[in-house]
Amino acid sequence: MNYKETIQLPRTDFPMRANLPEKETKILQNWNQTQMYKQIQESRKDNKPYIFHDGPPYANGHIHMGTAFNRILKDITVKYRTMVGYRVPFIPGWDCHGMPIEREVIKKLKGKILTNEILRKACTQFAQKFVGIQKEEFMRLGVFGEWDNPYITMDPEYEARVINVFKVLVEKGYVYRDKRPVHWCTSCKTALAEAELEYKDILSSSIYVKFKTQDPNLSILIWTTTPWTLPANVAIALNPKLQYDFVKIGNEKLVIASDLKDIVLEKLNIKDYEIEKSVVGKELEGMIYKHPLFDKECKVILSTFVSKDSGTGGVHIAPGHGYEDYQVGLSYKLPVISPVDESGCFTDEVPEFEGKYVFDANKDIIEALKEKETLVCDEEFSHSYPHCWRCKTPLIFRATPQWFLRIDHKNLRERCVNEIEKINWVPKWSKERILHNILDRPDWCLSRQRRWGIPIPVLYCKNCDTPILDTKVIERARDIIKKEGSMGWFEHPAKDFIETACPKCNCQEFIKEKDIFDVWFDSGASWTVIKAQDSFPADIYCEGVDHHRGWFQHSFLLSMTTEEKPCFKSVLTHGLILDKEMKKMSKSLGNVISPTEIIKKYGADILRLYFSAIDYTCDVPFDSDGLESSVIAYRRLRNTFKFLLGNLHDFETIVPKDKLLELDKLMLHRLTLLIEKVTSAYENVEFHKVYHSIYNYCTTDLSKFYLDILKDRLYTYGKNSLERRSAQTILQEILLSLVKLLAPIIPFTTEEVWQNITNNLKLSTNNSKSIHIELLPKSNPDWIDNKLAEDYELIQEIRDNVLLALEAARNKKIIGNTLEAKVTLWADNKDTRDFLQQKLSSLPSIFIVSQTNIEKVDNMSQFKKINIFIDKAEGKRCERCWIWSKDIGTSTEHLTLCSKCINVLKEDNYGC
């Protein structure tokens, strides 16, 4: 008789090899066909909502590792919240306006005359194309959401909402217009937002210049790295608290800060000098000096931003060309001079240098200073300098009329700070970060001199140039834009937006504003999407650390101004994806790894598993070798599922708890602990703890311990024996728990497992159509048995020692397979001995050996609590269960079987 046919080997069609790339595509098709997202929403329609508001990625290319990572984190959260019973609508968004797309399109249409219509149409198409591409790519990651109904910042309805936010800001008085220095790219001919600057080292002229005073022998020494801003000089700033020396060199006297004097004089190579006197900066306020280039007189002012760390302690002030200069200038009512045009060339306001590009004019200015004998030192100097993030051109500060949002209006800053305290920031330090950003930020420059964006709906009187910032005009613009999109603003004549005449000059004709909104204004108003659905504020926003200055902050500002409350209750921040060497992934470094490539090769579940293993609160190095370990981890999880499924193929009767075997009760206890640990890790958004707990459980508790021990019981015991059914009862519990706990992380594989469960197993579940409609398992306090757990801690410690002894015996060739062994134990401590005696009957199976007895023999190995001796097992090996025993052959029909197996054959009616 072939006894192999009489044992219950695992049986399942769940394949060992996943072939994820192909299988995931099929599962995806199935989800689409059955409208899974809708089904899930339907299943939760009466439940409490959990609003996850999506931050819109920029629609100008394929997704990169960072976007994939962000999406996966979001999706794990969405799926988890759904599985604890919330209704979680997820409306994905896309950010479509802005310079990168505009520039890309201009490049593409090079040579063509770009009317607004042509340009905007091309931009729309460009953005639409990538919205479509990214949508596919995101869906491929297994992300659930309303993909048929996303929010898109270039949709007319969305644009109208943005305009409406602007209207409220105007009503509440937050908006003002002012000439003001802004970072200006002379190549893109546009003002840049703070977010668009890129600091790089640059070589500049570093010059020391004497500003002569009314006393022809006395000069104030200043230091600057931007000689071209000297024509716009209107003041010298000194620090009121610093000490200034009057340094006498021959007949000449120079005013230099005491702390900097030595360094400066050494640089100027001046050794012979004396200090005539020393005064505190404050005493020099109002001192008159002569402009170094032109024939005019200006005054000394005071400012605490003047530092004693570099320069001379005297700072040349040009409010038209520097932000700090501008701020000091405000308090002294200094004129804002900015004689530079949009391409960075001097205007006719400075005839001496008219038409010269400012950076080229540096040398002319230095020459002019030399002629006037005011230049004392000229050298090159390397320092960090802002560049345009797109075209990498060094930027200048240039004063232009702009629209601003006043941050200190209606105590906005203060209110923000108060609200920040109440919001749940994860991780906690993220609060400090946003706090500093809000506290330190200047007014928000809303306007951009660009074309691809939402127009700022303001008119100017054709006659007197008075700006008409009027809610009626804005409302009309909003309504037209809602119907026709932003193009409506450009296509309609000005008169369509206004009925009244200019309040100043009564002129009837108007010119439309050409500027558009900063893109942060577009995306910062995205909470209007959830507001329109009556889901304001969001429960959670989740983006990378860079968004403390980006989307988080701008969304927050716009909701705090217009709604007067925050748009989110909690904010989750994640680190950025870097390469293996912790360097930023960028095309120029050639270290970019595309998520799409990874998915094609390995599947989305592998990528998701990889990201879930990592503590995302800090930056994440992405490396393909690391991905390999995810593949290996995945195999372990998959094989665990396969083993569980295979051993449950004939399971139908659950064994009640009081009849379960002791080891099985123990596993119920441990499963409960796992469920608790995992649930709390999910709740605290610590996905890596979810991953590590589950994975360790699968390897340590299951594979290496429980499942290994169980094989004998599952395979060789009677089909319907209590021992076997008891084990299956636990395996079922474990299977159902694991598949649910892992569903948010590996949605495809768990779905595959779930389908296998519902199709093939006769388990008592409600059988939802998808694992993602199920609820997470709840920990059952009845399953906790601390006494048992304590007993088994000792047993496992002994087991570890037995394994060591078995390994030693194996090395001595006493045994090969552990079933060939007999384990003899002895404990000097009587309590331990009694304990062993009490558990003796289950010890062979726990050690996976054939025999165990307790007695004192010679040559025992010494372990901490017990002594162990390994010997060859007694008797013969049973052909069926492979366990060695002395009662082989008690039946004439089955000479090679042990009596246990003979009984099993009878029980299971194998012709005995």
Indicate whether 882 belongs to the interface with RNA (CB under 7 A).
yes
CA-CA-CA-CA dihedral for 148, 151, 157, 162, to nearest 10? 180
Give the residue with the Cβ less far from RNA, 400 or 486: 400
Indicate whether 323 belongs to the interface with RNA (CB under 7 A).
yes
Among 410, 415, 601, 636, binds RNA (CB under 7 A): 636
Residue 806 Cβ vs RNA, minimum distance, rounded to whole Å: 6
Identity of the residue numbered 286: G
Indicate whether 806 belongs to the interface with RNA (CB under 7 A).
yes
Give the residue with the Cβ less far from RNA, 195 or 507: 195
Cα dihedral 285, 289, 292, 296 sign: positive
CA-CA-CA-CA dihedral for 832, 837, 841, 847, to nearest 10? 30
Give the residue with the Cβ less far from RNA, 94 or 425: 425
Stretch touching RNA by CB under 7 A, among 64-72, 473-481, 488-496, 687-695 = 687-695
Give the residue with the Cβ less far from RNA, 202 or 784: 202
Among 291, 299, 372, 688, binds RNA (CB under 7 A): 688
Structure letter (DSSP) for residue 325:
H
Stretch touching RNA by CB under 7 A, among 172-180, 504-512, 521-529, 810-818 = 810-818
Two structure tokens written together for 673:
């602990």
Is residue 309 within 8 A of residue 303, CB to CB? The reply is no
Task: Residue 851: name the closest of 869, 832, 874 by CA.
Answer: 874
Stretch touching RNA by CB under 7 A, among 355-363, 640-648, 740-748, 888-896 = 640-648
Question: Using CB atoms within 10 A of its CB, is residue 162 exposed (0-12), middle (13-18) or buried (19+)?
Answer: buried
Residues from 221 through 260 that contact RNA (CB under 7 A)? none
Considering CB under 7 A, how many residues would be counted as binding RNA? 86
Helix (H, G, I), strand (E, B) or coil at 733: helix
Write the Ramachandran bin of 142: left for phi over 0, alpha for psi from -120 to 50, otherwise beta: left
Give the residue with the Cβ less far from RNA, 708 or 893: 708
Calpha distance 854→589 (Å, rounded):
67
Indicate whether 640 belongs to the interface with RNA (CB under 7 A).
yes
Task: Residue 163: name the closest of 481, 513, 407 by CA.
Answer: 481
Give the residue with the Cβ less far from RNA, 158 or 611: 611
Give the residue with the Cβ less far from RNA, 183 or 725: 183
Strands 396-405 and 218-224: unpaired
Stretch touching RNA by CB under 7 A, among 151-159, 364-372, 590-598, 628-636 = 628-636
Indicate whether 629 belongs to the interface with RNA (CB under 7 A).
yes
Residue 548 Cβ vs RNA, minimum distance, rounded to whole Å: 6
Give the residue with the Cβ less far from RNA, 623 or 908: 623
Indicate whether 546 belongs to the interface with RNA (CB under 7 A).
yes
Binding mask 431-470 for RNA (x = CB under 7 A): -xx--xx--x-x----------------------------
What is the CB neighbour count within 10 angstroms for residue 875? Answer: 16
Give the residue with the Cβ less far from RNA, 811 or 841: 811
H or E segment at 260? helix 258-267
Among 807, 828, 874, 887, binds RNA (CB under 7 A): 807
Strand ranges, E, within 755-828? 821-826
Please count the residues of the chain: 912
H or E segment at 688? helix 687-696
Cα dihedral 674, 676, 679, 682 sign: negative
Give the residue with the Cβ less far from RNA, 122 or 897: 897
Calpha distance 225→221 (Å, rounded):
14
Residues from 365 through 424 that contact RNA (CB under 7 A)? 384, 386
Residues from 182 through 221 that contact RNA (CB under 7 A)? 194-195, 197, 199
Residue 309 Cβ vs RNA, minimum distance, rounded to whole Å: 7
Calpha distance 762→770 (Å, rounded):
17
Calpha distance 35→17 (Å, rounded):
28
Stretch touching RNA by CB under 7 A, among 68-76, 230-238, 738-746, 815-823 = 815-823
H or E segment at 32? helix 20-33
Structure letter (DSSP) for residue 495:
G
Residues from 556 through 615 that contact RNA (CB under 7 A)? 575-576, 578, 582-584, 613-615
Give the residue with the Cβ less far from RNA, 375 or 901: 901
Residues from 13 through 32 that contact RNA (CB under 7 A)? 16-17
Residue 871 Cβ vs RNA, minimum distance, rounded to whole Å: 16
Binding mask 698-717 for RNA (x = CB under 7 A): -xx-xxx--xx--xx--xx-
Task: Residue 568: name the closest of 589, 549, 554, 581 by CA.
Answer: 554
Cα dihedral 871, 873, 875, 877 sign: negative
Indicate whether 803 belongs to the interface with RNA (CB under 7 A).
yes
Residue 819 Cβ vs RNA, minimum distance, rounded to whole Å: 8
Indicate whether 270 belongs to the interface with RNA (CB under 7 A).
no
Residue 621 Cβ vs RNA, minimum distance, rounded to whole Å: 5
Among 548, 554, 574, 713, binds RNA (CB under 7 A): 548
